[in-house]
Copies of this chain bind each other. A is one copy, B any other.
Amino acid sequence: MLVNGRHYRTVWMENGKVKMIDQPLLPHRFEIAEMKNHTETTEAIKTMIVRGAGAIGATAGFGMAQAFLNAPENGFDDYVKKAVETLRSTRPTAQNLFYAIDRVLAAAKKESSVKAKRKVAVSEAQRIADEDAESCKRIGEIGEKLLKDSCNISTHCNAGWLAFVDWGTALSPIYAAKRSGKKIFVYVDETRPRCQGARMTAWELLQEGIPHAVIADNATGHYMKAGKMDIVIVGADRIAANGDVANKIGTYSSAVLAKENGIAFYVAALTSTIDLKCESGDKIPIEERGQEEVTHMFGRTEDGKHGKVRIMPEGSQVFNPAFDVTPAKYITGIITEKGIVKANREEINNLFKS
């Protein structure tokens, strides 16, 4: 997508170097970080210079390609093996990380010469990144049909291109609608406690020139009742086999409010987010995150540095669930790269038959 009028992906490979948007600096500074070798790329994943399922997967793939490129002919396999180990240990719950590592390994395994292994590792890593971007773009083309001209869209958290290689999921139909000439307006939930809406989604929309306003999460219901929102599109962290959706805390509230006010509520996600082995939403564990996300607020201080302020008294307890589960009954449909399905077992199963 566009940044300062130029097209960027979140992560890409160039002459053996992995380049990526330095995400912790956003939205206050836009810089490209450059990782010379797989060790630096591994560190970038670990320190979350890159974040988001699709973007992490692509970065891991490129990191693997770097390992193959830099491995000495003498001790080649050992070097790669060690690289795999450190790369795997960066974000132990990121499924796309393991998927990308294994795919590059499997592709290289088919070749016998070091030269051929290097070549295929690079091309396979590139393919992983391209596939992510292509699938997200498809979600945009498919989801765009749901957006009428002059419609007002509500979104929660950041399921934009920064979390993937390009396009994103929930924001992809918005980018597609803009390109097809539709007039649209986006209400961006700031998404406390980490404010990914105010930080990431607002920045993405600003760069793409899409009219939007950031609102406190508390104001979403008010605008729904006032008839100001026509459709809600959010992303998903995990979709159960029955259509229940785990996503950023506050998604459930948005879904209930949408239903109460007769507003369509869509989830946009790659089919890889669907976990058929997970029967229903109540089987999805909800991560409880650190207290500091609630007790403090992070941002740019008055002297232009990254800093924080404490917003509540010392001594008060904090609960900080990172996700909630939206039962399938509140969901109008799930937009995937293979089409839009209802949030039920049968239609979800059909996505995997072909």
Contacts and interface: CB of A to CB of B under 8 A. Distances in A.
A225 B252 contact: yes
A223 B313 CA distance: 22
A274 interface: no
A299 B297 contact: yes
Contacts of A217: 192, 216-218, 250
Interface in A263-320: 286, 294-302, 307-313, 315-320
Interface string A202-227: 11011000011111111111110100
A153 to B, nearest CB: 14
A234 to B, nearest CB: 12
Interface residues of A, number: 63
A241 to B, nearest CB: 20
Query: Interface of chain A, helix or strand or loop or mixed?
Result: mixed
Contacts of A206: 313, 315-316
Contact of A222 (B223, B312, B321): B321
Interface string A253-267: 100110010000000
Q: Count the copies.
A: 2
Interface stretch (A41-49, A110-118, A193-201): A193-201
Given A190-B312, A311-B198, A299 B296 contact: yes
Nearest to A318: B214
Contact of A299 (B27, B199, B249, B311): B311
A81 interface: no
B301 A252 contact: no
Interface string A167-194: 0000000000000000000011011110
15 contacts: A192-B192, A195-B312, A202-B313, A213-B319, A217-B218, A218-B253, A221-B250, A221-B324, A222-B249, A225-B252, A256-B256, A256-B257, A257-B257, A297-B297, A300-B310
Interface of A: 27-28, 187-188, 190-193, 195, 198-199, 202-203, 205-206, 211-223, 225, 248-250, 252-253, 256-257, 260, 286, 294-302, 307-313, 315-321, 324-325
